[in-house]
Amino acid sequence: MPYIDEGFPIHFFFNLNFKQMKLVAKRARRDNGERLTDGGHTALNFINTCKKDGKGGYIDHLGNYSGFLKWCSDLELIDLDIFMVLDLEQYCYSKEAEGIYCSVVAARDCFDELFNSLACGENVHPLILDRFNMHAERINAHLSYHTGECGLMLYWKDIHEEMNLPYWLVISAARSLVDSGGWRKIKKCPACSNLFMDKSRSHNKLWCNHSTCGSLLKNKKYYEKKSLIKNELQLA
Domain holding 129: CATH number?
1.10.3300.10
β-pair partners for 9:
155
- What is the distance between the alpha carbons of residues 195 and 201, in angstroms, rounded to a whole number? 18
In this structure, is residue 226 part of a structural domain? yes
How distant is the alpha carbon of residue 204 from its chain centre? 22
What is the rounded distance in angstroms from the CA atom of residue 122 to the CA atom of residue 103? Answer: 26
Contact 69, 87 (CB under 8 A): yes
CA angle 171, 173, 175 (to 5 degrees): 70
Separation between Cα atoms, residue 167 and residue 100, nearest integer Å: 8
Q: How far apart are CA 166 and CA 104, in angstroms?
A: 9
Tally the domains of the chain: 1
Helix, strand or coil for residue 150? Answer: coil
In a domain, 143, yes or no: yes
Q: Is residue 92 part of a domain?
A: yes
**Would you say residue 42 has pLDDT above 90?**
yes
> Which residue range is the domain that position 221 belongs to?
12-235
68's CB contacts (< 8 A; 6+ apart) are: 62, 101, 104, 166, 167
Average pLDDT of every residue of the chain: 80
Task: Identify whether 202 is part of a domain.
Answer: yes
pTM of the model: 0.76
Contacts of 195 (CB under 8 A, 6+ apart): 39, 44, 47, 48, 115, 116, 119, 186, 187, 188, 189, 208
The DSSP symbol for 120 reads T
| Residues 181-233: tens digit of each pLDDT | 999 999 998 888 889 999 888 888 888 887 777 665 555 554 455 566 556 55
| Residue 171 pLDDT | 96
pLDDT at residue 105 tops 80: yes
Radius of gyration of the CA atoms of the chain, in A: 21
Query: Could you tell me if residue 152 is left (phi over 0), alpha (psi between -120 and 50 degrees) or otherwise beta?
Result: beta
What pLDDT was estimated at residue 151? 86
Please give the pLDDT value at position 82.
94
3-class SS at 90?
helix
> Minimal CA–CA distance to 165: which of 86, 220, 107?
86
pLDDT at 44: 95
Does the residue 3 lie in any domain?
Answer: no
The answer as to whether 66 is a domain residue is yes
Instruction: Tell me the HSE value of 154 on the side-chain side, using a 13 A CA sphere.
Output: 10
| Burial track 49-62 (b if 16+ CB lie within 10 A, e otherwise) | bebeeeeeeeeebb
User: Is residue 164 helix, strand or coil?
Assistant: coil
Whether residue 1 is contained in a domain is answered as no
Residue 150: the pLDDT is 81
Instruction: Please check the confidence at residue 92 and state whether its pLDDT lies above 90.
Output: yes
pLDDT of 59 over the 80 cut = yes
Rounded to an integer, the average pLDDT of 8-12 is 49
User: Has residue 5 been placed in a domain?
Assistant: no
What are the tens digits of pLDDT across the range 113-124? 999 999 999 999
